[in-house]
Amino acid sequence: MNRRHLLTGLGAALALPAIPRAGAQTLTRATLRLKWLTQTQFAGFYVAVQKGYYREAGIDLTINPGGPNLLTENLVASGADTFGLSGGTDSVFAARERSLPIVCTGVMHQQTPFVFVARADGPIRTLADFRGKTITTWFTGANFVLLGMLAEAGLRPTDFTMQPQQVSVTPFVDGQIDVVTATRYNEFYTLMTRMGRDKLRVFVPDDHGITFPRDTVIVSEQTARDKPDMVKGFMQASIRGWRDALRDQKLGVDTVMAVAPTLARPHQEFMLEEAGKLMVAGPAATNGLFWVDMPTIQKAHDFFLRNGVIKAPLDLAAAYKPDVLAGIPLADRMA
Amino acid sequence: MKASLRLAGGLLLAGLIWEGAVVVFGIRQSTLPRLTEVLAAIAATPGAYWSGFLRTAIETLIGFAAGTVVGVANGLIFFRAPILRDMLLPIFVVSQTIPVIAFGALVVMWFGNTLMAKAVIAFYLTFFPVTVNTLLGLHSVDPRQVALLRSFGATGRQILFRLQLPMALPQIFVALRLGASLSLVGAIVGEWFGDTTGIGVLLLQAMYNENVIAVWAAILCAAVLGTGFYALVALAERRIVFWGAEQ
């Protein structure tokens, strides 16, 4: 390479970084902390990043996966992450009770995303049959849903054995326990593939009057107060990404698989389909994606209060902000 | 050459036993998949495994290097200033009794999802054994040898670099070999706190998706990385401490 080429190269190298910088000035850097590892449960966010929807909204978004040892509420409250997709109404309640300054601006899953599963050929046919049986569930809220369901069936907590559920559903598959908890989009797939759908009897919390919206979008109170346009832009871009991912599920799966290529495609396809059903169910059918349905949340709150999960009533109007979505035209929110 | 042939033979044999045992005893895939299935999983998405391998290797190396430098420096400082040793070493000991997993969430808050966050955890696990062994090695130098060099008019610096540090090297390398495995553990644990690339991420994804083949694929990658790194440190030891490597 002669000197002139070298100089031109140098000049180009100096000039090039200046070009994105000029554009980047209008972009605000932000992060989204997911509630779990990269999978199609979060496909819409990845699609929105890939298609540049966040950039169009003025946000340079980085998606940070969650994990078994992370609490999204803490990371958002501490400012380590801007946005968070957190556990659900339950974890928002818990965070608010601990005075963490976070607010919820969107709810992804409008119906309870988990079900309780027993063997179809086993002795459990109704909730009353749970008496004397061994159940595993997540002690992060699902346990109270089950306690509530069983209380209505006339069972007291001493009538059955409830254990914390570990990573694997293998103990249930191997017959060591009688009832297992499964999210519709994840563990249920594993159960189906290992045992067959017809071998499973499913108890749905919503059938028993307990709806427990989960997968909540959260921001810190400070962000909500100081940067309302960014929060609105984030919700808008996320909805656009999700609309694309739900309409073209192959695109959704492809986008996620590009980020995490070792995932099993059939499982991811199933997950996106099931997660999508939860997202358009209930009040979302008329109010659009991410709708924050205050009556449902109030009911979940009262249920938790009644069962002593939260000690004192919470100021739900301060914790949940449906007005961010209300500021976006309904037609743009529909799936 | 002969030794490496034998090693290759041993690996091949172990692989055959793995493959054969699964087939012969009809072991369920969810308990132990066949080696060929695991290798096929890696071959199906080689890019993901390669980038994970590289990322974890870099985190491990940075943490290990920083741990070595800081550990040797600590050892020297404590050797020269016993007051500092008495003040600080107990604190170091306390810091090492805290399970590293307890720091994970904090490190994510401080450093985010950066490469540094993982390197810091790898560093945290490495620096302490190096500190202790450097100190131990320096103390093991025969005072008569120091006196002899001094009688020849050697300066403190000359004694340090010509006698004390070389004599401490065998001890330091014991810590470095330990550090080689520990820093890998640190990097992988660090990756469990929400990252996108790395062997730890692959392991976590596989574990929670109950994808046993992918779990084994990640374990295999970690084993290759861990063994390779350990071998490099041992090789360096054999070259540098040519007079007394203990193997």
SS3 A291: coil
Residue B16 shares a structural domain with residue B122: no
Distance, CA of A219 to CA of A333 (rounded, Å): 20
Judge whether residue A14 has pLDDT over 50: no
Distance, CA of A290 to CA of A333 (rounded, Å): 8
Q: Is the dihedral of CA B69, B74, B75, B77 positive or negative?
A: positive
Residue B25 shares a structural domain with residue B45: no
Q: Which residues of B touch A191 (CB under 8 A)?
A: none
CA distance to partner chain A, nearest, from residue B50 (Å): 12
Instruction: Tell me if B247 is assigned to some domain.
Output: no
Q: Does A66 touch chain B (CB under 8 A)?
A: yes
How many contacts does A have with B, using Cβ atoms within 8 A?
78
Confidence at residue A25, expressed as pLDDT on a 0 to 100 scale: 54
Mean pLDDT of chain A: 90
Distance, CA of A275 to CA of A288 (rounded, Å): 15
Residue B126 shares a structural domain with residue B22: no
Residue B163: DSSP 8-state: I
- If phi > 0 it is left, if psi is from -120 to 50 it is alpha, else beta; for residue B174 that is alpha
Domains, chain A:
23-111+212-333 (3.40.190.10), 114-208 (3.40.190.10)
Instruction: Tell me if B245 is assigned to some domain.
Output: no
Name the residue facing A69 among B104, B206, B217 (closest C-beta).
B104
Domain holding B223: CATH number?
A: 1.10.3720.10
Q: Which residues of B touch A75 (CB under 8 A)?
A: 108-109
Confidence at residue A97, expressed as pLDDT on a 0 to 100 scale: 93
SS3 A328: coil
SS3 sequence of B73-89 = HHHHHHHHCHHHHHHHH
Residue B24 shares a structural domain with residue B119: no
Confidence at residue B107, expressed as pLDDT on a 0 to 100 scale: 85
Residue B5 shares a structural domain with residue B99: no
Residue B88 shares a structural domain with residue B192: yes
Q: Which residues of B touch A65 (CB under 8 A)?
A: 194-196, 201
Confidence at residue A69, expressed as pLDDT on a 0 to 100 scale: 76
Residue B39 shares a structural domain with residue B22: no
Distance, CA of A305 to CA of A288 (rounded, Å): 28
Residue B3 shares a structural domain with residue B94: no
Q: Which residues of A touch B205 (CB under 8 A)?
A: 37-39, 260, 262-263
Which residue would you say has higher pLDDT here, A12 or A196?
A: A196
Residue indicated by tokens 């998606």: A63
Share of chain A above pLDDT 90, in %: 77
A259–B192 C-beta distance less than 8 A: no
Name the residue facing B205 among A33, A64, A263 (closest C-beta).
A263
Confidence at residue A57, expressed as pLDDT on a 0 to 100 scale: 95
Residue B60 shares a structural domain with residue B158: yes
Instruction: Tell me if B165 is assigned to some domain.
Output: yes
Mean pLDDT of chain B: 91
Query: How many domains is chain B partitioned into structurally?
Result: 2
Instruction: Tell me if B246 is assigned to some domain.
Output: no
Residue B110 shares a structural domain with residue B9: no
Instruction: Tell me if B234 is assigned to some domain.
Output: yes
Instruction: Tell me if B153 is assigned to some domain.
Output: yes
CA distance to partner chain A, nearest, from residue B210 (Å): 7
Instruction: Tell me if B156 is assigned to some domain.
Output: yes
Specify the pTM: 0.84
ipTM of this complex prediction, to 2 decimal places = 0.76
Name residues of chain B where pLDDT drops below 70.
Answer: 244-247
Which residue segment(s) compose the domain that B58 sits in? 33-240
Amino acid found at A305: L
**Angle, vertex CA A231, rays to CA A230 and CA A235, nearest 5:** 115
pLDDT in tens, A253-308: 999 999 999 998 999 999 999 999 999 999 999 999 999 999 999 999 998 888 77
| CB A65, CB A74: distance < 8 Å | no
Residue B123 shares a structural domain with residue B205: yes
| CB A238, CB A151: distance < 8 Å | no
pLDDT in tens, A172-215: 999 999 999 999 999 999 999 999 999 999 999 999 888 989 99
pLDDT in tens, A226-256: 999 999 999 999 999 999 999 999 999 999 9
Amino acid found at B187: A
CA distance to partner chain B, nearest, from residue A152 (Å): 33
Amino acid found at B110: W
pLDDT in tens, A149-183: 898 888 988 999 999 998 789 899 999 999 999 99
Residue B46 shares a structural domain with residue B68: yes
